[in-house]
Amino acid sequence: MTTNSIDELFVEGLQELYYAEKRLVDALETLADQTTDDTASQAFAEHRDETTEHVERLERVFEQIGKEPQEREEQVVKALIDEHEQFAEENEGQDDVLDRYNMSVGQKTEHYEIAAYGNLTSLAGKTGHDEAADVLAETLREEEQALEEVTQATEQFDQQEIAGD
């Protein structure tokens, strides 16, 4: 990938995040349906709805910078989704194990999204796209909150598992 400017880097980052968020809408639905722990399942379902809004916000950002929304394959999220599918298939019927794994996948994707939105918010500001930076910063805050919710659900799950042993 040859990128000749910070502006191009910003657009390519938006395209990758657009790809990732669109894939995560479906992945979060799978996590919500597959997770038997009510708190975690609800957190995944709520974040799925937020993620749909994030896709729409990214489309607004593309519009704000005068670009057509396009996806660019993002390898990290693709790998996380592929890995999850394989794990879920291999561990079908082991609800506690799969629930805990799903929570860790949720945390991994949130960390990725926080890094991606943080970088793009900074690039938007550096390239003079202040309105886009504001939109991206709003989503960044929501991703940080989603990480906190998944982390709390994971800690609660772990405490219940320890108490149950």
Please give the chain's pLDDT, 165 residues, in tens: 577 899 999 999 999 999 999 999 999 999 999 999 888 899 899 999 999 999 999 999 999 999 999 999 999 999 999 999 999 999 988 999 999 999 999 999 999 999 999 999 999 999 999 999 999 999 999 999 999 988 998 999 999 877 775
Alpha carbons 133 and 128: distance in angstroms, whole number? 9
Closest by CA position to 105, among listed 87, 130, 80, 126 = 80
- Reduce the DSSP state of residue 66 to 3 states and report it: coil
Distances (CA, A) of 27 to 13, 68, 72, 107: 20, 25, 18, 13
State whether the Cα torsion 138-141-145-151 is positive or negative. Answer: positive
pLDDT for 3 equals 76
pLDDT for 160 equals 87
pLDDT for 120 equals 98
- List, in sequence order, the alpha helices (H) in 35-129: 38-64, 75-90, 95-126
Alpha carbons 96 and 162: distance in angstroms, whole number? 12
| C-alpha 17 chain-centroid distance | 9
Could you tell me if residue 72 is left (phi over 0), alpha (psi between -120 and 50 degrees) or otherwise beta?
A: beta
Distances (CA, A) of 145 to 1, 16, 46, 127, 158: 33, 22, 12, 27, 20
Of 1.20.1260.10, 1.20.58.60, 2.30.30.100, 2.20.28.120, the CATH number of 6-164 is 1.20.1260.10
pLDDT for 86 equals 96
Amino acid at 121: T
* Domain residue ranges in the chain: 6-164
Distances (CA, A) of 85 to 30, 43, 82: 10, 20, 5
Task: State the helix-helix crossing angle for 95-126 and 130-164, rounded to 10 degrees.
Answer: 160
